[in-house]
Structure formats: structure tokens, C-alpha cells
Amino acid sequence: MRVGVPTEVKSDEYRVALTPAGVRELVDAGHEVFVQSGAGVGSAIPDDAYAAQGATITPDAAELFGAAELIVKVKEPQPEEVTRLEPRHVLFTYLHLAADATLTRALMASGATCIAYETVEDGRGRLPLLAPMSEVAGKIATQAGAFMLEKPLGGRGILLGGVPGVSAAKVMIIGGGVVGMNAAFIALGMEATVYVFDRSIDRLRELDIAFSGRADTCFASTLSVEQLRLMKPHAVLVDVSIDQGGCFETSRPTTHSDPTYEVDGITHYCVTNMPGAVPITSTYALTNATMPYVVHLASAGVARAVAESPGLKLGVNVAGGQVTYAPVAEAVGVAVAPVDEALAAIAA
């Protein structure tokens, strides 16, 4: 199959969807790979590094989309990219369509088969293509919080780990999933006093073992979480879940160029694409997870790949002009079509 990797065009996006290692895997499996010139620059990967593994470097997006059948990206396609999509294309990328009816309808109109990273599941119902970005965001959350606690940045002026004779700062983490566990590991590494709240006792059990008792695990009841109201002046609140709307009444989305604002004396950090701050780490973390799926799609073709992988099948959001993922169909207000039927209609 001919696999294409465009340069990301969304603002502040420096990741790329394939590394030279991915090119090598695909070329060794007998596929052709096209990489748009400059696609890897934001992640410190020059064109030459792709070419050395057998990729053809294309000068622009028009040629890239023209040459490729399977298009691998990072962010949802921007309007100029949507216009380049055709029924012969398979698009594999983050889509987040439930929140974007306009994009969903545009992708339906393109006729392309669109597979969303964020709805692909593994055999245990986990989200393997979201997890790497949650790991990165969790680690950044503590780093960013620690930094914003510094007085010149408007923070309380307290060192997370304290020093001998002076107490450490307290870090309260609500939700001990992938983000929360990674945030806790960094906070523990910085020698803060750490509390992790979750509604799942099973998860708290797993965390207790993972932290070897170094963090307090707490059941998240309304009463226990209410102490947030008692946050000290110039404390810092990092709302990682802001990409899904956030979990605090006072949260609103911010960007890396202006990451914080203050409400009632509390610094809020609510950056929606936290992994974008560390594109080199994020590119490798993402592509390590996506690469086996890319190779499978390229080698088997989309119909056989989804028949062989029920988890990948859950990633198919749009095919043959129809929405094939129920939560997106419901959010956008269109009928859902079975994946197999939609793909069969394309093949016919």
C-alpha cells in the first residue's frame, strides 16, 4: 500500500505521525511511504532521516495526498486537508468527532474511511492510542504545577519537595487513571506529599501497590473532594481533563503561549494539548503505539484489518459517507451504520 505522512498544519502542532523507524517497518513489509517535506522538523526529524529508510519525500500536501492511499496523521484534518480527501483514502489520526459536527459532516461528504486513534481499544477495553498522550500529560501536569507555584510566576512561593526542616507541598490528584498515576509518580519523585483520589476501589488498590504506600490513596466522595474550596491563596490547579470540557466550574481552555489565569486567587493551568509542549517525546510515544496498527492496515487493507482486529474496528468512525461509531452518530444527530456494511459498500 502507499502510505502518506503529511506535515501537520494545525497551529502549535509539532508532532509527526511516523518516525524513520516506522518507515523502515513499512518498507520492509513491502509498502511505499511518502513523507511531506518538513513533516518531522518540529520533532527534530529531518527529511534525510526518512529518505534514508526508503521514504519518498514529496514537496507539498497536494502531491502527498495524491500519492497516498493510507494517510497517517496526528491531529484532526483541517479544512484544507478535508478538501483533499477522496473515497479511496483511509485516514488514521486523532479525530474527536463527537465534539465537532461540522468536521464529521465534511468527512462523511469526502467518502474517505476515517479511523480515530481515540476510539481504538485493546483486548481489555483500554484505549492504547490515547494512553501515551495521557502519560505525557500526567507528567507535564506536575512539572507545570510545580513551576507555577513559584512566586515570580504568581504562585504561592513554595517548593514542591520542601527541604530538611520545612514541609513539602501537598499535591492532590483527582482521578488515578493514566494521567493521575503519571502525575503522582512525578510528584513523588519531587518529594511532595501526594494524595490520589479515585471512585474505583480496584484502581486505588492497583495504585497502592504501584506507589508502594508512598502516596495516600483516597476514595473520591463529594465530601472528600469538597476540600478543594479550601485551597490556599495562590495555589495551583491543573485541569488536564480540559480537552473534554474540564472538571472544575472555573476551568476554561488555555494555550501553551498563555497557559494560566487566576480565579479567586487560584492559578488555573488548563492547556488543552499538553503533550504538544514536548513534541519529540510525544511523537515517539505516539508512534510506538500507532505503528503496529499502521503496518496492519497497510498490509491487510482496511476491511481485512478490522475483521482481524475488533479493537481497530471500534476506531472506524466514518466510512462510505456514513458515521459508523455510535457515540459520534448520537452526538452529531445522524444514523449509525454498521462498519462492515459501510466498508462493503465502498468495496462494491
Ligand X SMILES: NC(=O)c1ccc[n+]([C@@H]2O[C@H](COP(=O)([O-])OP(=O)(O)OC[C@H]3O[C@@H](n4cnc5c(N)ncnc54)[C@H](O)[C@@H]3O)[C@@H](O)[C@H]2O)c1
Does 198 participate in binding ligand X (rule CB under 6 A)?
yes
Distance from the first to the final alpha carbon of the chain: 19
Does 332 participate in binding ligand X (rule CB under 6 A)?
no
Reply yes or no on whether 243 is catalytic: yes
C-alpha torsion 21→23→27→32, nearest 10 = 180
Give me the least distance between CB of 43 and ligand X, in Å please. Answer: 17
Q: Which of 3, 33, 91, 137 binds ligand X (CB under 6 A)?
A: 137
Strand intervals (E) in the chain: 2-5, 32-36, 56-58, 70-72, 90-93, 113-116, 170-174, 193-198, 216-219, 236-238, 260-263, 266-269, 316-319, 322-323
- Given 100, 208, 243, 340, the catalytic residue: 243
Quote the CA–CA distance of 57 and 51 in Å, as a whole number.
7
Picking from 226, 160, 151, 224, the residue whose alpha carbon sits closest to that of residue 193 is: 160
Query: Of 257 and 348, which has the nearer Cβ to ligand X?
Result: 257
Query: Of 220 and 334, which has the nearer Cβ to ligand X?
Result: 220
Beta bridge partners of 193: 170
Q: Which of 273, 283, 287, 317 binds ligand X (CB under 6 A)?
A: 273
Chain centroid offset of residue 141 CA: 14
With beta carbons less than 8 A apart as the criterion, state whether 195 and 171 touch. yes
Does 175 participate in binding ligand X (rule CB under 6 A)?
yes
Does 272 participate in binding ligand X (rule CB under 6 A)?
yes
Query: Of 3 and 314, which has the nearer Cβ to ligand X?
Result: 314
Order of strands across the sheet with 216-219?
Answer: 170-174, 193-198, 216-219
- Given 31, 89, 96, 234, the catalytic residue: 96
Does 278 participate in binding ligand X (rule CB under 6 A)?
no
Picking from 286, 261, 290, 289, the residue whose alpha carbon sits closest to that of residue 276 is: 286
With beta carbons less than 8 A apart as the criterion, state whether 303 and 309 touch. no
Query: Of 115 and 133, which has the nearer Cβ to ligand X?
Result: 133
Does 129 participate in binding ligand X (rule CB under 6 A)?
no
- Which single residue brings its beta carbon nearest to ligand X? 177
Give me the least distance between CB of 285 and ligand X, in Å please. Answer: 11
Does 246 participate in binding ligand X (rule CB under 6 A)?
no
Query: Of 50 and 197, which has the nearer Cβ to ligand X?
Result: 197
Reply yes or no on whether 96 is catalytic: yes
Binding residues with ligand X: total (CB under 6 A): 26
Q: Which of 40, 155, 176, 279 binds ligand X (CB under 6 A)?
A: 176
Joined grid coordinates for residue 122: 485493546
Q: Which of 92, 195, 197, 293 binds ligand X (CB under 6 A)?
A: 197
Does 178 participate in binding ligand X (rule CB under 6 A)?
yes
Order of strands across the sheet with 316-319?
Answer: 56-58, 32-36, 2-5, 70-72, 90-93, 113-116, 316-319, 322-323
Quote the CA–CA distance of 78 and 3 in Å, as a whole number.
19
Query: Of 133 and 160, which has the nearer Cβ to ligand X?
Result: 133
Annotated catalytic residues are: 96, 243
The footprint of ligand X (CB under 6 A) covers: 130, 133-134, 137, 174-180, 197-200, 203, 220, 240-244, 272-275
